[in-house]
Amino acid sequence: MNVFRLLGDFSHLAAIIILLVKIWKSRSCAGLSGKSQIMFAMVFTARYLDLFTTFISTYNSVMKVIFLVSSYATVYLMYVKFKASNDGTHDAFRVEFLVTPMAGLAVLVNHEFAFLEILWTFSIYLESVAILPQLFMITKTGEAETITSHYLFALGAYRALYIINWIYRYYMEGSFDSIAVVAGCVQTILYCDFFYLYVTKVWKGKKLILPV
């Protein structure tokens, strides 16, 4: 494992910790898209079913468990524990328009037509667009809390670091996964506008407010 993959994993972990701490300390999930979190739970479930069949390393297995448990914990907090603060009015993205095409694409375009492989491919495709309900919610409200901005930045940084990891592996190991790379690039592109606003607003101590 190279340093870019490791940094990407810890950036991803940091994003989850920021999210959970934000919800627990404020006792609220205001400003967060529950639909995005449900899709992330679907992503990790589909991707890590091989936890019961394949052992790669202790680090790999521990990270899989952490991502699985934290994703379901987030959904629980948003839809059960702090359900009253869930903003269903603004969290209105039609996720079936994401899940269904990604599932169909996974069946049609994959490395191997096998059950676990199709699930893994589905998770890659779905992860690339799972943040859209959250970004859509921000456009509807016109702003994002600073802590939510930190969460999104860490999540975007995780994917950007993975792109560097793929470039490194291509040149150093001759490894190239077209499905993961294309989906990862799509996901990173979705964050570009947010990255710009984060650097120009949040880094300067201002609240992230979308330009009118």
The predicted-structure confidence for 113-165, as pLDDT tens digits, reads as follows: 999 999 999 999 999 999 999 989 988 887 778 778 889 889 889 988 999 99
What whole-number percentage of the chain has pLDDT above 90?
63
Strand partners, 144: 208
How do 143-144 and 208-209 pair as beta strands? antiparallel
Which phi and psi (to 5°) does residue 208 adopt?
A: -80, 105
What whole-number percentage of the chain has pLDDT above 70?
96
Which phi and psi (to 5°) does residue 31 adopt?
A: 85, 0
Residues 124-159, buried b or exposed e (16+ Cβ, 10 A)? bbbbbbbbbbbbbbbeebeebbebbbbbbbbbbbbb
What local confidence, expressed as pLDDT, does residue 66 receive?
95
The predicted-structure confidence for 1-25, as pLDDT tens digits, reads as follows: 789 999 999 999 999 999 999 999 9
What local confidence, expressed as pLDDT, does residue 17 receive?
94
Start-to-end Cα distance in the chain:
44
Confidence band for 108, pLDDT divided at 50, 70 and 90: very high
Burial class of residue 161 in the structure, from the number of CB atoms within 10 Å of its CB (0-12 exposed, 13-18 middle, 19+ buried): buried
What local confidence, expressed as pLDDT, does residue 88 receive?
82
- Strand runs (DSSP E) across the chain, as ranges? 143-144, 208-209
